């Protein structure tokens, strides 16, 4: 009985102890929850305060500045509304000038006088005095040969001649006094003449040891060097006379009716871009070349400052007709639409695309037969892509354009 009571008491104590532990844990959990709730509430209040400050700042920034209303921007006040500008172009004024039609042929420049220089004597070359490209005068020494033996021969022949000539003078006195037979006197005279000839020959041989230029000109080729042994048939130099240059062109028979001796020609070459030379027809062959069926025409060329040289390839523009007072437009101003020539004529900052009829043309200008008149202002730069009736803005004018040379020639599409 006692044991049962003790067991009941122990059970009650255990229950009390367990209930007491649970209460403490619940109290601790409640305290922790209250602390967390307070912290969260504090953070939320802080976030709300920050949001309120940001909103107030944004509101202040949105409010207009009263000073800005009373002080307007002077740049905006003076600024004018922007308008569309015209296309920038350069223009030229249509003028008149001389232009010619020509036929075009190609050829190479040649020197009319080409001289081959040969030795007149024989021997070893001691000195070469002139090189290729040098200009020489008539009689100038070009080469010297070894001449020691020739000098001795000349001196010996001279001495013999002088000796016999002195004897002849003494014999002549005897002959005049009839103290000497006529036959002996005549034999002595002949002997003197023969020795004079020997002396002259020795002098020539000595002189031939110095090779001289036969005419004035320019050395184009040298074929000998120091130490060479040469003979009378050895070619030493080739020389050209640059004062008279020619070019041969071959003209088909159907083109001969437009050509005559003395007819002018304009000469150009790719070696000297932009440079023009005068020329004229010097000779026309009267016979047809059976191989090509053409006539050979010789042109005489005038070289400015000796710029043209033999061997240069040239274009010969032979003039066949001339218009002295033609209406001209710069060739660069012309645009083609469906193969037809047009120019843009400027009037009151507006361009009109005008078709015109072409006449002669050359490398710089085109003759206008109809459609454009003298004094019109035309676009010369900026016309590519330009439309009819477009607005333009002139940035540069070139004034009245007239060919710089009175013998400006036009092109005809005939080349050989």
Q: What is the full DSSP assignment across 141-189?
A: EEEEE--HHHHHHHHHHHHHHHHHHHHHHHHHHHHHTT-S-HHHHHHHH
Answer whether 89-101+323-410 and 115-240 agree in fold.
no
Threshold 0.75, pTM exceeds? no
- pLDDT by residue (tens digit) across 369-404? 998 888 888 888 888 888 888 888 888 755 544 444
Q: Which fold has domain 115-240?
A: OB fold (Dihydrolipoamide Acetyltransferase, E2P) (2.40.50)
Could you tell me if 245 and 308 are in contact, meaning their C-beta atoms sit under 8 angstroms apart? yes
The CATH number of 89-101+323-410 is which of 2.40.420.20, 3.20.20.30, 3.40.50.10310, 3.40.50.620?
2.40.420.20
Check residue 42 and give its pLDDT. 46
105-111+242-320 under CATH 2.40.30.170, yes or no: yes
Q: What parts of the chain have a pLDDT lower than 70?
A: 1-8, 10-11, 15-84, 397-416
Check residue 16 and give its pLDDT. 66
Check residue 411 and give its pLDDT. 42
Check residue 303 and give its pLDDT. 79
Check residue 83 and give its pLDDT. 47
- Domain borders along the chain are 89-101+323-410, 105-111+242-320, 115-240
Q: Bridge partners of 87?
A: 392
H helices of 209-276, in order, are none
- pLDDT by residue (tens digit) across 251-270? 988 778 888 899 999 899 99
Residues of the chain by 3-state class (helix, strand, coil), percent to 5: 35, 40, 30
Check residue 58 and give its pLDDT. 52
| Residue 111 φ/ψ region, left for φ over 0, alpha for ψ in the -120 to 50 degree band, beta for the rest | beta
């Amino acid at each position: 009985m006692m044991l049962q009571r003790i067991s009941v008491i122990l059970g009650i104590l255990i229950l009390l102890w367990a209930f007491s532990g649970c209460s403490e844990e619940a109290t601790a959990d409640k305290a922790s929850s209250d602390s967390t709730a307070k912290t969260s509430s504090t953070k939320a209040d802080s976030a709300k305060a920050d949001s309120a400050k940001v909103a107030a700042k944004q509101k202040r920034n949105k409010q207009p500045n009263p000073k800005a209303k009373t002080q307007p921007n002077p740049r905006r006040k003076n600024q004018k509304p922007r308008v569309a500008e015209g296309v920038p172009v350069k223009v030229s004024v249509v003028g008149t000038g001389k232009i010619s039609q020509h036929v075009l042929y190609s050829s190479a420049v040649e020197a009319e006088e080409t001289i081959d220089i040969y030795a007149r004597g024989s021997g070893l070359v001691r000195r070469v005095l002139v090189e290729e490209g040098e200009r020489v005068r008539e009689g100038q020494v070009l080469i010297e040969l070894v001449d020691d033996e020739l000098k001795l021969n000349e001196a010996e022949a001279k001495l013999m001649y002088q000796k016999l000539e002195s004897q002849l003078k003494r014999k002549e006195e005897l002959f005049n006094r009839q103290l000497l037979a006529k036959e002996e006197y005549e034999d002595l005279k002949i002997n003197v003449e023969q020795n004079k000839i020997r002396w002259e020959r020795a002098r020539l041989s000595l002189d031939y040891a110095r090779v001289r230029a036969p005419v004035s000109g320019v050395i184009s080729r040298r074929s000998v060097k120091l130490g060479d042994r040469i003979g009378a048939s050895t070619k030493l130099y080739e020389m050209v006379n640059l004062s008279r240059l020619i070019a041969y062109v071959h003209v088909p028979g159907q083109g001969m009716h437009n050509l005559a001796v003395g007819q002018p020609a304009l000469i150009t070459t790719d070696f000297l871009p932009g440079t023009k030379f005068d020329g004229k027809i010097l000779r026309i062959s009267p016979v047809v070349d059976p191989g090509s069926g053409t006539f050979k025409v010789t042109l005489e060329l005038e070289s400015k400052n000796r710029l043209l040289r033999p061997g240069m390839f040239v274009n010969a523009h032979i003039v066949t007709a001339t218009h002295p007072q033609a209406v001209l437009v710069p060739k660069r101003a012309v645009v083609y639409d469906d193969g037809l020539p047009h120019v843009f004529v400027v009037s009151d900052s507006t361009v009109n695309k005008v078709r015109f009829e072409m006449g002669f043309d050359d490398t710089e200008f085109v003759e206008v037969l109809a459609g454009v008149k003298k004094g019109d202002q035309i676009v010369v730069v900026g016309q590519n892509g330009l439309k009819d009736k477009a607005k333009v803005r002139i940035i540069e004018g070139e004034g009245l354009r007239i060919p710089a040379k009175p013998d400006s020639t036009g092109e005809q599409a005939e080349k050989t």
